[in-house]
Amino acid sequence: MNARRLAHALAAAAIVAWFGAAAASAQTISDLTLDLQALQARIAAGDKAAYASQAERISAVGAAIVAAKPEVWQSTRETDAAVIYLLSGGQPRDIVRLVESGAVPASQIPMMRGALAYVLGNEAEAEKRLSQFDVRQLPLRLAGPMAFAQSVIATSRDSAKAIELLDLARLLAPGTLVEEAALRREVMLEADQHAVDSVARLARQYASRFGASVYAEAFLQTLAGTLIQSGAIDSPDNFSKFRGFFAALAPDARRGFLLGLARAAILSGRFEVAAMAAAAALDGVPPDSVEEARGRLYEGMARILTPDYDAGLAELQGVAQARLDRHDQELLAAARGVATFLHEPPASSAAPPLAADAAAMAAANPNDTIAQTIVLAEAALNRTASLAGVAAPKENL
């Protein structure tokens, strides 16, 4: 009796497996790419399991493309799906084989070759082939990825056009990885254009819609430096324009972003901004934490270069050095050295020559201790000279 039940169970399992395999084999390339796009939308929403399975899903679509019969490619829906696969991170070699097979109608070849040129970095060829397509006339699921690709191609020659295409990509593909990536890219392009209000608005949209994205943490780390280096946040007034963005971030992300912003501002000599960012990061920070030590460090560094020197010095002396990483420990040592210099400044004629591009050095390499010290020393010289009513010593070029 037990053997018979086992046999029935095995037979049932075999039938289920057969139907599952049949269903999988019945999926078209278009179906598979639709599933891939849905998976990537989950990645944009913060699904780490979806991110972990992305490579396997892309490989499955590629294998299906390679195995597809020639008659499959007589359908425009399927050739569009092959382009979507490529623009979604698929392997170029799969599409090269497809194009070389002769199975694709001649009318569909230009888009495939254009997409290949784009992913392979051949900008001139990609522009030549893809610029002829009006994304508003394409099927919706292809239109968003195509608008994004066209934007990337246009960036070097026409940034305004690139931004316009990113706006269109977001409109055509809401809630997808295309929109998430378009927002990230557009924020950076607008920062390069010093469009502060647009940057603040787009950054807030990103935080509200995709703050949990798998790509958000790395993007926010980069953005903190970009906002300082581009001058988007170069004053207390501009800092205030981003308060909506800060508020839209989750508490831990907000604190991490503000600390990164404060550090970048210190190394670029924007001490008022650094003080504001550090103070905001310290609001509600867990006591005796790494974040508190970093916030105290950056706030103290900024304050010693203002009339609030004594409070800044006390803050630097109270920083829990053991909580800092090696780079911030070096920064703390530099700050304490500058604080000592400020307490007993040498005669201006004895001041050491300063590197003209120290701020640029520090911004380019946030872990360059020498550049950091020079930036702080230069600010210290300017402060002491202004207090004494004399001009700071000029650099030797």
Over residues 42-51, the pLDDT tens digits come to 999 999 999 9
Torsion of CA 116, 118, 124, 129, to 10 degrees: 60
- Per-residue pLDDT at 272 exceeds 80: yes
Q: Tell me the pLDDT band of 351, cut-offs 50, 70 and 90.
A: very low
pLDDT mean over 192-207: 97
Instruction: Give percent of the chain with pLDDT exceeding 90.
Output: 75
pLDDT given at position 124 = 95
pLDDT mean over 63-70: 97
Q: Tell me the pLDDT band of 397, cut-offs 50, 70 and 90.
A: very low
- Matching residue, tokens 């005669």: 347
Lowest mean pLDDT among 13-27, 179-193, 268-282, 328-342: 13-27
pLDDT mean over 286-312: 93
pLDDT given at position 227 = 97
Residue 22: which residues within 8 A CB-CB, separation 6 or more?
A: none
Q: Which among 97, 43, 46 is positioned nearest to 73, based on CA atoms?
A: 97
Q: In this predicted model, what pLDDT tens digit does every residue of 127-146 receive, in sequence order?
A: 999 999 999 999 999 999 99
pLDDT given at position 383 = 52
Q: In this predicted model, what pLDDT tens digit does every residue of 363-391 receive, in sequence order?
A: 545 555 555 555 565 555 455 444 434 34
pLDDT mean over 264-293: 95
Residue 304: which residues within 8 A CB-CB, separation 6 or more?
A: 312, 313, 316, 335, 338, 339, 342
> pLDDT higher for 2 or 209?
209
pLDDT mean over 240-259: 97
Q: In this predicted model, what pLDDT tens digit does every residue of 309-337 receive, in sequence order?
A: 999 999 999 999 999 999 999 999 989 98
Q: In this predicted model, what pLDDT tens digit does every residue of 103-120 receive, in sequence order?
A: 999 999 999 999 999 999
CA distance 257 to 295: 11
CA distance 141 to 118: 18
Lowest mean pLDDT among 59-63, 70-74, 308-312, 366-370: 366-370
* Average pLDDT of the chain, as a whole number: 86
pLDDT given at position 380 = 53
Residue 161: which residues within 8 A CB-CB, separation 6 or more?
A: 151, 154
- Three-state SS letters, the chain: CHHHHHHHHHHHHHHHHHHHHHHHHHCCHHHHHHHHHHHHHHHHCCCHHHHHHHHHHHHHHHHHHHHCCHHHHHCHHHHHHHHHHHHCCCCHHHHHHHHHHCCCCHHHHHHHHHHHHHHCCCHHHHHHHHCCCCHHHCCHHHHHHHHHHHHHHHCCCCHHHHHHHHHHHHHHCCCCHHHHHHHHHHHHHHHHCCCHHHHHHHHHHHHHHHCCCCCHHHHHHHHHHHHHHCCCCCCHHHHHHCHHHHHHCCHHHHHHHHHHHHHHHHHCCCHHHHHHHHHHHHCCCCCCCHHHHHHHHHHHHHHCCCCCHHHHHHHHHCCCHHHCCHHHHHHHHHHHHHHHHHHCCCCHHHCCCCCCCHHHHHHHCCCCHHHHHHHHHHHHHHHHHHHHCCCCCCCCC
Residue 251: which residues within 8 A CB-CB, separation 6 or more?
A: 284
Token pair of 347 as six digits: 């005669």
pLDDT given at position 368 = 58
pLDDT given at position 339 = 86
Q: Tell me the pLDDT band of 97, cut-offs 50, 70 and 90.
A: very high
Full-model pTM: 0.81
Q: Tell me the pLDDT band of 147, cut-offs 50, 70 and 90.
A: very high
Residue spans of the domains in the chain: they are 250-397
Neighbours of 349 (CB within 10 A): 6
Q: Which among 181, 180, 216 is positioned nearest to 48, based on CA atoms?
A: 216
CA distance 326 to 323: 10
